[in-house]
A = this chain, B = another copy of it.
Amino acid sequence: MDTPERLIQSTRELLWERGYTGTSPKAILQRSGVGQGSMYHHFSGKPDLALAAIRRTAEEMRAKAEEQFSEPGTALERITAYLRRERDVLRGCPIGRLTQDPDIVASPALRQPVDETFGRLRQRLAEVLTEGRQRGEIASALDPASTAATIVAVLQGGYVLARAADSTEPFDQAVDGILVLLAQGAR
């Protein structure tokens, strides 16, 4: 791995663990084994490096979601596969956690990839739901856009509850709950 790549990977890990405010350039240097001068040669500073790291994480997250959405099966099966996919629940969502960082939300450049990630995710889920409705797999009373927002919110909120409890149980309960509710509307 070359130097910029090592910096990006270490920054991604630290942003996930400690957030933007909690991540110092010094910690990035220690974790990556890169020297001070190299870091400031390749990146203009902490915000620049963070932006590269966030973009990378956002791309990966999108690709992993698409794996489940593009599987064969009914809409409900694909949504179930997505919600039940293996996740590092107690670590939380590496993109969602950034929304709690005021420096991220206050910076248009840093917030943009976060916004886009959730926007596309909701959009993609709404498409899956629309297909399911057309095929009669999902109750036509359900609005795709708002149901999609609900599903994404259950995941993000599930992480919050799991971290509060230091247990994956409430996350799993929340996922079970939404799946039962969605199945209820199936024909």
**What is A's interface to B at a CB cutoff of 8 Å?**
17-19, 21-22, 92, 95-97, 99-102, 105, 111, 114-115, 117-119, 122, 139, 141-143, 145-161, 163-166, 170-171, 173-174, 176-178, 180-182, 184-185
Contacts and interface: CB of A to CB of B under 8 A. Distances in A.
Contact of A100 (B119, B157, B163): B163
A14 B174 CA distance: 30
A164 B21 contact: no
Number of this chain's copies in the assembly equals 2
B92 A100 contact: yes
B100 A100 contact: yes
State the 4 A-B residue pairs at the shortest beta-carbon distance, nearest first: A153-B157, A150-B177, A157-B157, A156-B157
Contacts of A170: 118, 122, 149, 152-153
Contacts of A22: 21, 101-102
Max chain B C-beta neighbours (<10 A), residue from A139, A142, A161: A161
Which among A21, A158, A164, A182 has the highest number of chain B CB atoms within 10 Å? Answer: A164
A21 B56 CA distance: 25
Contacts of A117: 164
